[in-house]
Amino acid sequence: MPELPPFEEMDRAFRGRDAAYDGVFYAAVSTTGIFCRPSCPARKPLPENLRFYATAAEALFAGFRPCKRCAPLQAAADPPWVATLVARVEADPRLRIRDADLRAEGLDPAAVRRRFQARFGLSFQAYQRARRLAAAFEAIKVGGSIDDAVFDAGYDSHSGFREAFSRLFGAPPGAAAAGSAGLADFIRLAWIDTPLGPLVAAATDRGVCLLEFSDRRMLEAQARILSARIGLPALPGAHPHLERLRAELAGYFAGERSSFGVPVFAPGTPFQERVWAALRQIPPGETRSYAELARAVGDPAAVRAVARANGMNRVAILVPCHRVIGSDGGLGGYGGGLWRKRRLLEIEGAPHFE
């Protein structure tokens, strides 16, 4: 889970209504049972009545209700400098922006670290390092020299580069060389903003293999399972499938499209893959119960197994596990939060759910 700042710092930010901390933590008030984003304009309680959480999901699971004034379940806007820093790194992954550079630009390195940790699960320095090594991998793969890669990645020695590369990819740089039988590729990771919060997306040449809301509690475990199943490391990086996914999701949330054309690569057990294939047959605007889904995969008695496979789906929205509801007509469960499940069904024109 994301690292929380010290209690005193969060208390000070909450009382100062500091929007720079929105998305970094959530403040819950024990006397009212409500949780807020740091910038909430409501009256502030005594420190002894405050509880702080790294995600809105944690606050919800702890029994707190979202504040109606600051709407903490809605996506928190990043400060403009986040997009600026990401764009600079993406434009030239070899760039090294140090803490001194951030201070010279009027940015607090600690605030930048926390924001990137909350947003991407990586500190800003780790994000830069991952992008440099990913760029080095891609350069070596198409025939670039390891000597050039060492220099471009900003390492002072071959040994330091080799150690960092091997730690990240599980193999030495030579394994990525053109024509090598070693490292074939890596999973590209990207973050996509949506009206329901940021999504973490991943793709290989075979298709989109991960799409999850970034505050889902099982996300880290899902990513580890994915990496182990595909046999590739995962790093921030660009990919045509991710760009197509970004555009198609924008159209989906704008109400301009209800289906997706980007390839999906969702490896699992044979039973899981049958369930996920059946999910993709549920038309937008319609729902199915777990029992109906079990019958669709040809195993009517496997309702619980179907529910487990549904919950292990790693490609949200494209593999629409949100279209499965309880046999009693209720929403059932959803890893991204029931409020998101309800909203996704509303976007698709499904019957209203309380």
Say whether 36 is catalytic. Answer: yes
Please, where are the H alpha helices in 51-181?
A: 56-61, 80-91, 99-104, 109-120, 124-141, 146-152, 158-169
CB 77 within 8 A of CB 89: no
CB 133 within 8 A of CB 164: yes
Q: Which residue type is seen at 86?
A: V
**Which residues are CB-contacts of 43 (< 8 A; sequence separation ≥ 6)?**
none
Strand extents, DSSP E, the chain: 26-29, 34-36, 50-53, 65-66, 187-192, 199-204, 207-213, 234-236, 288-289, 324-325
What backbone phi and psi angles, to 5 degrees, belong to 307? -60, -40
Task: Give the strand order in the sheet containing 207-213.
Answer: 207-213, 199-204, 187-192, 234-236
Q: Which of 69, 66, 41, 44 is nearest to 56 (CA)?
A: 66
Task: Please compute Rg for the chain using Cα positions.
Answer: 22
Active site residues: 36, 321
